[in-house]
Amino acid sequence: MLTSIVEKLKTSFPDSITVVQEFRGETTVHVKKDSIVSVCLHLRDDASSLFDYCSDVCGADAYTPENRFEVIYNLYSTSLNHRIRIKTFVDETDMHCPSVISVWPGANWPERETFDMFGIIFDGHNDLRRMYMPEEFEYHPLRKDFPMMGIPDSIPLPRK
Amino acid sequence: MNVEQAMEIRQQKILAALENKNTSVYFMDALDNEMILNMGPQHPATHGVLRLLIKLDGETVAACVPELGYLHRGYEKLAENCSYHEFIPHTDRLDYLSPLMNNTAYVLAVEKLIGVEAPKRAQYIRTIISEMARVSSHLLGIGALAMDVGALTVFTWAFREREKMYDIFELLTGARFTTSFTRVGGLAHDMTPDVIAAVTAFFDQFPEKFNECIKMLNTNRIFVERLDGVGVISKEKAISMGMSGPNLRATGLECDLRKTNPYLVYNELDFSIPVFNDGDSLARYYVRLNEVKESVKIIRQCLEKMPAGPVHANEPKKVLPRKERIYTKMEELIHDFMLVNFGVNPPVGEVYHAVEASKGELGFYIQSRGEGHPWRLKIRSPSFMNLQSTSLLVEGGMISDIVAVLGSLDPVMGEADK
């Protein structure tokens, strides 16, 4: 089922799909950052895929010199009942990634969370604020170079 | 002089009486201008520490901005720094109304990653405890919703039933709330006959007590009218906003992971998925109410069909050995040492496993680099995604409907804030 979707994706976007992985019955497709919105639109609207439900958008810090950050989209189709995972890479020198809230409005808060935790700026997002951390907080806590114990005095405490 | 002019003069006289050389007074109609109201984070109707900033036009909500993060504890960061087993107690604190469900969801994701499967009996017990967690969570959801719109009795009645369930959880796991009952590849221990007897006895008396509760609500005209047609969302909108669980099924979409992607033993059981089409707060309440009845059916079937046998997978290098064997057997001692100190070493890869939790699709996305701890663990929490639609649901409605909408969405902030 999913192989036909991946094949169709490859023929429609020959330059954008770099890697296709299969693990424990789950398909992960690596997509170039610039074409992420058009790939997502294709996946949502194409009659054989119909991924109308964006389960989650999240980031990950691979901690590599190049393409350090990953943005991961877990998609689900409510009508055809299948899942796919799309992954795109963001380099540390250019922390921008196109936003997919035009495709799935529900990606709004997960993208804000990803921005909060990793500092990835989603272009085209209308309300890119921090989700959990205070606005004056300078760091992005889920990056691998942020210590688990936190940084002293990074959050000002209320005066007594 | 007509009535309006008389009122005007009266008003001016009152104001003049209040004025002196330091104070000037003028009258402004409260309905003529907009005001910003801050609701929360400490507000009884927000079910935790949710903050809503509301722009009001008279009594109508013009805009609503939810603010999260008051209960953010950084569980995803913690997960990267502890082994797969060590993270199980943290899952109790996510959706603290159904901790057993979170335990089950988490170990199912880890088991998918490392490639073990729990034995049949363990899966049946996991199904029972998941459904019990769903019943207890929905009882609180219904009770708190009723309390928010002014029916206090049902809340105490629902809590009485929940207390009985927590006694069973204590008997089963040793703790009422922080259960940490599941293990990778099995359970902490087997369900003893007296627990089974307690569960059976509880569910023998429960339907009658539950019917008393819902009779109080379904025939209560105030309750029904406070919810009917309030906070409506269409099916298409709910899907695109990432809603899940009872809130999504209240919009008319039959989407339940227990049916569409069966896990545990749900494909061996006979149950139906309640679906309502209105998409309003009343429909969300009806979905929960009927889900409780279905859960009771599921639990009864599980108790009937539950096979005998072990509750741990026979995978010595991946599943924690029994305590009594660690003290007496060399092999088990070595395995215990390795598992506790270095953890299960799963293959390199990434998995996403979602279950139908009481609030909706609870998913764990795990990236593994072959180490004893996850490289990245993402919790897809249903409350977080459901809360996203709050502003859509309340905008254009009355301010008093906000509590009804929030109560019917049934968010848990422990899960939404992670």
What are the pLDDT digits (tens) for B250-276?
Answer: 998 888 888 888 888 898 888 999 999
Q: What is the pLDDT of residues B114-129, one digit of tens each?
A: 888 889 999 999 999 9
Check residue B126 and give its pLDDT.
Answer: 92
Q: Which two tokens stand for residue B335?
A: 């395995």
Position A1 scores a pLDDT of: 58
Note whether B365 contacts A74, CB cutoff 8 Å.
yes
Contacts of B239 in chain A (CB under 8 A): 52-53, 78
> What is the structure's pLDDT at B4?
83
Per-residue pLDDT, averaged over B65-85, amounts to: 89
- Residue B15, pLDDT score: 80
Largest CA distance in chain A: 64
The fraction of chain B above a pLDDT of 90, given in percent, is: 29
Q: How many CB atoms neighbour CB B187 within 10 A?
A: 24
Q: Does the pLDDT value for residue A90 go beyond 80?
A: yes
Q: What is the mean pLDDT of residues B337-341?
A: 87
What does the pLDDT average to over B25-39?
A: 75
3-state secondary structure of A157: coil
What's the confidence (pLDDT) of residue B323? 82
How much is the mean pLDDT over chain A? Answer: 87
> Which residues of A make CB contacts under 8 Å with B?
23-24, 26, 28, 52-56, 58, 60-61, 72, 74, 78, 81, 83, 85, 104-110, 117, 130-134, 141-142, 146, 148
Give kind and range of the element (H or E) at residue B78. Answer: helix B75-80
Which tokens belong to A34? 């610039």
Beta-carbon separation of B385 and A109 below 8 A: yes
Size of the A and B interface in Cβ pairs below 8 Å: 90
pLDDT at A110: 92
Q: Which neighbouring-strand residues pair with A58? A: A72
- Please report whether residue A15 resides in a domain: yes
Would A147 be classed as within a structural domain?
Answer: no
- Of A74, A78, A142, Cβ closest to residue B77: A142
Which of A23, A55, A85 lies closest to B380 in CB terms? A55
Report the percent of chain A where pLDDT is more than 90.
23
pLDDT in the model for residue A5: 83
Residue A94: pLDDT over 70: yes
Which residue out of A1, A22, A43, A55 would a mutagenesis test of the B interface target, given it has the greatest number of B Cβ atoms within 10 Å? Answer: A55
User: How far apart are the C-alpha atoms of B71 and B390, rounded to whole Å?
Assistant: 18
Complex prediction ipTM: 0.91
Mean pLDDT score of chain B:
88
Confidence of residue B397 (pLDDT cuts 50, 70, 90): confident
Are A106 and B74 an interchain contact pair (Cβ–Cβ within 8 Å)? Answer: no
The predicted model gives B60-79 an average pLDDT of: 89
Query: Of all helices (H) and strands (E), which one includes residue B302?
Result: helix B281-305
What pLDDT sits at residue A138? 86
B417–A81 CB contact, under 8 Å: no
Nearest Cα to Cα of residue B284 among B325, B242, B253, B305: B253
- Range B388-404 burial, b when 16+ CB lie within 10 A, else e: bbbebbbeebebebbbb
Task: Look up the CATH number of the domain holding residue A14.
Answer: 3.30.460.80
| Segment B282-306 mean pLDDT | 91
**pLDDT tens across B179-232, in order?**
889 988 888 888 889 999 999 999 999 999 899 888 888 888 888 888 888 889
Residue A138 lies in a domain: no
Of residues B214 and A1, the one with the higher pLDDT is B214
Q: What angle do CA A109, A112, A116 make, to 5 degrees?
A: 140
Say which of B112, B376, B385 has its CB closest to residue A106: B385
- Distance in angstroms (rounded) separating the CA atoms of residues B401 and A11: 50
Torsion angle (degrees, nearest 10) of CA B345, B346, B349, B351: -130
Per-residue pLDDT of B155-175, as tens digits, reads 899 889 999 999 999 999 988
pLDDT band at B27 (very low <50, low <70, confident <90, very high): low
More confidently predicted of A159 and A92? A92
Q: Picking from B14-18, B51-55, B58-62, B190-194, which range would have the lowest pLDDT averaged per residue?
A: B14-18
Number of structural domains (chain A) is 1
| Multiple choice CATH, B75-416, 3.40.190.10, 1.10.287.3240, 1.10.40.50, 1.10.645.10 | 1.10.645.10
Q: What is the mean pLDDT of residues B305-318?
A: 86
- Is the pLDDT at B106 greater than 90? The verdict is yes
The CA distance from A48 to B44, in Å, is: 47
Q: What is the mean pLDDT of residues B378-384?
A: 92
- What confidence category does residue A49 fall into, taking pLDDT thresholds of 50, 70 and 90? confident
pLDDT for res B39: 85
Average of pLDDT values for B284-290? 91
- Whether pLDDT at B415 is above 80: yes
Is residue B31 pLDDT above 70, yes or no?
Answer: no
Q: Establish if A145 belongs to a structural domain.
A: no
Task: Tell me, yes or no, whether A64 lies in a domain.
Answer: yes
Domain that holds residue A26: 2-123
In this predicted structure, the answer to whether residue B30 has a pLDDT above a threshold of 70 is: no
What local confidence, expressed as pLDDT, does residue B134 receive? 92
DSSP for B6-50, please give it: HHHHHHHHHHHHH--SS-------GGGSEEEEEE-SS-GGGSSS-
Q: Bigger pLDDT: B248 or B24?
A: B248
Q: Which chain A residues have a beta carbon less than 8 Å from that of B74?
A: 141
Q: What's the confidence (pLDDT) of residue A154?
A: 82
| Residue range B129-142, pLDDT digits in tens | 999 999 999 999 89
Residue A56 lies in a domain: yes
What is the pTM (predicted TM-score) of this model?
Answer: 0.88
